[in-house]
């Protein structure tokens, strides 16, 4: 992984002329990315599917065309765009497993124009997978709970919504609780392939778990991330596509408010109400914790939406929303609620019931989570200042 040593507060612009990717006989592939001035960058690889990720802080890709990088047989596709974190990203889809042999930036003294040069060498599937894992494992873990027992691990808690006496949304023979448990298990199995990652489920069978116990489990595990999975039904109007929610004291729209009310109703019905007022000191501490975790949650939501959009080319028309879901109220853990789709949409329901779609969605979600983790770890030293 390459990371520039100096932080800049400027934007650089991508220059198509002079940028390219080409195969080098006997040695691999060379990528050159021209931009108007040097900025911090980082490079890493991701498996399943195989990708090379290049991120800048920041480069504007106005006028970007994939054809600029079409001269290499090792690269099957290229995408570029801005991230919610303020960084920007290029994704190179790889036709074969390749390792980053070296990477560095040269800056022309006369014009300050920068060129990032990346050399890739051929490898095998096992070595590629191991190298991709190491890129994750080498990151600095941000532990927001204050528990140092998992200081060298990135701990993720997946929360399959509903369960047991609460089936959630029902459409024909499909129940939200069952679909989300299957999805959570698949996401867990993919995450477990990454070194340095621990993943836990709030339930691993069809049982009821209260909202309070779901959040308590995340605290007990010293989670770095809490991700709740749902697939609701919207009765007013139409909704389809993936939507990601972060915590807000007021819902972002009427439909969001109704969804929040439905999820909170289970909390009230089963005798657990988390909305009671804290004493003044507790309230101040909670507010201080949320000063960090709410922005982190929003950045995580953005990374997940970016990854799903890259995989499927579509998400909900308003993919990031805010609601007062109790399951998101752990003040010291970045938390999001993912509506994978809406069971009131025939297309979404077909997708949710499809093993092939769930596999693609799981890989995209994992890519988003790990991409956010890398970005968040890089920003951690700035937050501590």
Q: What pLDDT band is residue 145 in, cutting at 50, 70 and 90?
A: very low
**Which pLDDT score, from 0 to 100, does residue 134 have?**
58
> Could you tell me the fold of the domain covering 12-137?
Immunoglobulin-like (2.60.40)
pLDDT given for residue 258 in this prediction: 61
pLDDT at 138 over 50: no
Is 162's pLDDT higher than 50?
A: yes
| pLDDT-wise least confident of 63-72, 148-157, 243-252, 327-336 | 148-157
Please tell me the chain's helix, strand, coil percentages from 3-state DSSP, rounded to the nearest 5: 35, 30, 35
Q: Could you tell me the pLDDT band of residue 332, with boundaries at 50, 70 and 90?
A: confident
pLDDT at 257: 62
pLDDT above 60 (res 9): no
Higher pLDDT, 189 or 290: 189
Q: Categorize the per-residue pLDDT at 267 as very low, low, confident or very high, splitting at 50, 70 and 90.
A: very low
Tokens of 369: 């989570």
Parts of the chain belonging to CATH 2.60.40.3500:
12-137
What are the distances in angstroms from CA 160 to CA 123, 141, 179, 183? 37, 25, 9, 8
Asked if residue 208 has pLDDT above 70, the reply is yes
* pLDDT single digits (tens) 170-186: 999 999 999 999 999 99
Task: Please say if the pLDDT value at position 88 is more than 90.
Answer: no
- Asked if 159 and 229 count as a contact pair (C-beta separation under 8 A), the reply is yes
Confidence of residue 262 (pLDDT cuts 50, 70, 90): low
pLDDT tens sequence across 102-131: 888 888 878 888 899 999 999 999 999 888
Please tell me whether residue 98 adopts helix, strand or coil conformation. strand
| pLDDT tier, 251 (very low <50, low <70, confident <90, very high otherwise) | low
Q: Which pLDDT does position 147 carry in this prediction?
A: 33
| Cα of 356 vs its chain's centroid, Å | 20
Mean pLDDT of 152-174: 90
- The predicted pLDDT at position 304 comes to 93
Domain 148-384 indexed as CATH 3.40.630.40? yes
Q: What percent of the chain has pLDDT over 90?
A: 39
Distance CA 260, CA 251 (A): 8
- Numbered ranges of CATH 3.40.630.40 in the chain: 148-384
State the average pLDDT for the chain.
79
pLDDT level of residue 333 (50, 70, 90 thresholds): confident
Give the model's pLDDT for residue 270. Answer: 29
CB atoms within 10 A of CB 235: 9
- Rounded Cα–Cα distance for residues 230 and 167 (Å): 11
Q: What is the pTM of this model?
A: 0.59
Count H helices, E strands: the chain?
Answer: 7, 17
């Amino acid at each position: 992984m390459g990371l520039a040593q100096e932080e800049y507060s400027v934007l650089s612009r991508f220059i198509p002329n002079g940028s390219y990717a080409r195969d080098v006989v006997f040695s691999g592939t060379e990528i050159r990315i021209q931009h108007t001035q040097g900025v911090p960058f980082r490079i890493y690889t991701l498996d399943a599917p195989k990708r090379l990720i290049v991120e800048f802080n920041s480069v504007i890709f106005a006028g970007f065309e994939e054809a600029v990088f079409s001269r290499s047989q090792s690269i099957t596709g290229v995408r570029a765009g801005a991230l919610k974190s303020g960084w920007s990203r290029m994704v190179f889809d790889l036709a074969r497993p390749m390792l980053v042999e070296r990477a560095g930036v040269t800056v022309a003294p006369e014009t300050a124009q920068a060129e990032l040069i990346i050399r890739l060498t051929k490898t095998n599937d096992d070595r590629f997978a191991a190298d991709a894992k190491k890129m994750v494992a080498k990151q600095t873990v941000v532990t927001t709970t204050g528990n140092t027992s998992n200081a060298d691990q990135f701990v993720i808690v997946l929360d399959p919504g509903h369960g047991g006496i609460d089936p959630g949304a029902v459409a024909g023979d499909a129940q939200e609780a069952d679909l989300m448990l299957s999805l959570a298990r698949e996401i867990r199995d993919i995450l477990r392939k990454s070194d340095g990652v621990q993943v836990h489920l709030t339930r691993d069978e069809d049982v009821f778990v209260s909202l309070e116990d779901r959040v308590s489990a995340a605290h007990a595990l010293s989670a770095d991330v809490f991700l709740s999975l749902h697939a609701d039904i919207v009765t007013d109007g139409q909704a389809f596509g993936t939507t990601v929610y972060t915590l807000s004291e007021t819902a972002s729209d009427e439909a969001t408010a109704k969804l929040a009310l439905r999820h909170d109703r289970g909390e009230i019905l089963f005798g657990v109400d988390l909305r009671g007022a804290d004493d003044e000191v507790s309230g101040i501490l909670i507010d201080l914790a949320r000063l960090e975790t709410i922005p982190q949650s929003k950045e995580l939501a953005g990374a997940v939406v970016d990854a799903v959009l890259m995989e499927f080319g579509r998400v909900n028309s308003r993919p990031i929303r805010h609601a007062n879901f109790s399951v998101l109220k752990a003040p010291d853990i970045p938390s999001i609620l993912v509506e994978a789709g809406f069971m009131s949409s025939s297309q979404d329901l077909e997708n949710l019931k499809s093993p092939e779609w769930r596999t693609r969605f799981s890989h995209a979600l994992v890519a988003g989570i790990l991409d956010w983790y890398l970005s968040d770890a890089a920003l951690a030293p700035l937050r501590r200042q």
